[in-house]
Chains A and B, each alone.
Chain A
């Protein structure tokens, strides 16, 4: 078992605003166009980006980008907003969300240092073409003072199936909150932690350096991942039949169910991921389970149905997708 069995992905997000423009809530339509053009123009010096306008997307297409964690819920509800995304979908820039720019880098597993490096190289390239709003005291000026200073929000998605089973998450979260680490659900602020998946991020952005933020979060995540891996082994050794039963039941349901509501799917995929890491479902690559996690979210599923002309309720389509695309493969048993 290794850290990538526990940490799904990590992200570094930088909030930046451009001088001479008010914050997005005060921008006129013309100013938004002007600013967007400047940002898109500046991106050309850094690499190939696809510029996607929110107004060009239907609701399912909008939500699919949220489900991939490439953009936020707030961005897709704003018709004037847009975003830049590279081909690998590792780097994206939200334009005119809460701030003028939100540069973000997402990488699989726990690799915050690389995410930091990549987002900062993009940041540096933009800074050469655009004049950022900064002050000697507060650093990067942001629309909401909770992002002042570094404007940096580093986070990771961590799967705590073992600690959740052992009911140890509450005391753990109390401890890490003292270190300035925030715990949220699967889709960030205000969302539920379905399937034992949590988002951990830095709480403070001012009076700390970017290096401190990355280092603290990386150290905390490594420590939690280690605890999670240990507890998985202990739980399995002490309750072999019980754990195998839970995992195989989830596998059976995903393989044979005719309808699968979202919440139920999340708890089964959590058990399947646990089974893979313990070697009980050793033939399934963890990457496939992680892909399923995204593909079986509502909007991604709705787009798959539209593309393949499938007309069925959400939970029926989800079960069918699992049966046809994944669990029909006998080699997984």
Chain B
């Protein structure tokens, strides 16, 4: 049971033990990891199978294949018709979907807790028994091309981010879009998809996360029954092209007639969370919150959004360290009407300089820590969200302990560590600064 929180008193600012979550984990003999997050308030369960493979694991020239395979995983096995997976979940009143990222691909269902066994049996089936017809592959390729049109090509900010990421990473596959470059997507075929499937879809490359009204014993039993019989695969070592030293600042512009709101976005190369070594990522997480987390009180908001001639309408800072390789720390500034992007960028840099010189306001820092601590209470209302946190962490090579410790690591961050992380990460030689502009119709 969740600890019934004497720790709550510790919302005052003394260090408190992390709030316990009911998280249990074990590993099957074939290497499949299982995580169970108990929440018995409603008879509902989230079932997730995470594969430790994503777009950054794709072979050169086959961008988009990880995501394409994700779509095809709904298109039938030796014993299930195309579409039968989802219609079976529907018939149980459940919902199901999947998502692909750089480092992982995850499949999930939300169902009544007593339907979990059926979900596990179907997930185990499609882990090993996918069959695909050429017709289905051709149709689904059109679907993902339309998806690319909808998500990226119809949205100038998405095109801009895609170009910016490509400029940020000199060698890492993180510079390639998850959905793929269109020309390579058009070439994706059945063999490519099945090759990727056979290489990476295996119990020893998967993490089962079950959250909700279940007991660890019951999940273990079901997991053994359905996944335990699957043979592990020989997996390729997850060694990807790494970033060389980045020595040259990059600047870019993208102009599009569809742009309504020009803005400046800067990304800096930044370290990721590592097993047993999350302090720096925690400091960067707090830094992002301190610089841009609140539209009213963050450093950038106060410096750029207030006062008579405030240069910005919006500001933000973003960092997520849950990744296999080096990731990015992002800043964005939307200027007030009439102010040039150059001036907006200059104002942003001035605010950063001032922050680096002036340091951290202890009261503002304390408020962030209060929210970090309370965030763990609120997080318990969302077992689905907890499942995603644990799944993503394990999929990038962190451990259950790392994820369990993470709130505590965040709370142990000191202002000095935040400043040190800021000085290290804010190096323009490792940054890309992009201006998204409205292309004038006359040009």
Q: Do A and B bind each other?
A: no
Q: Which residues of B contact A (CB under 8 A)?
A: none
Q: Which residues of A contact B (CB under 8 A)?
A: none
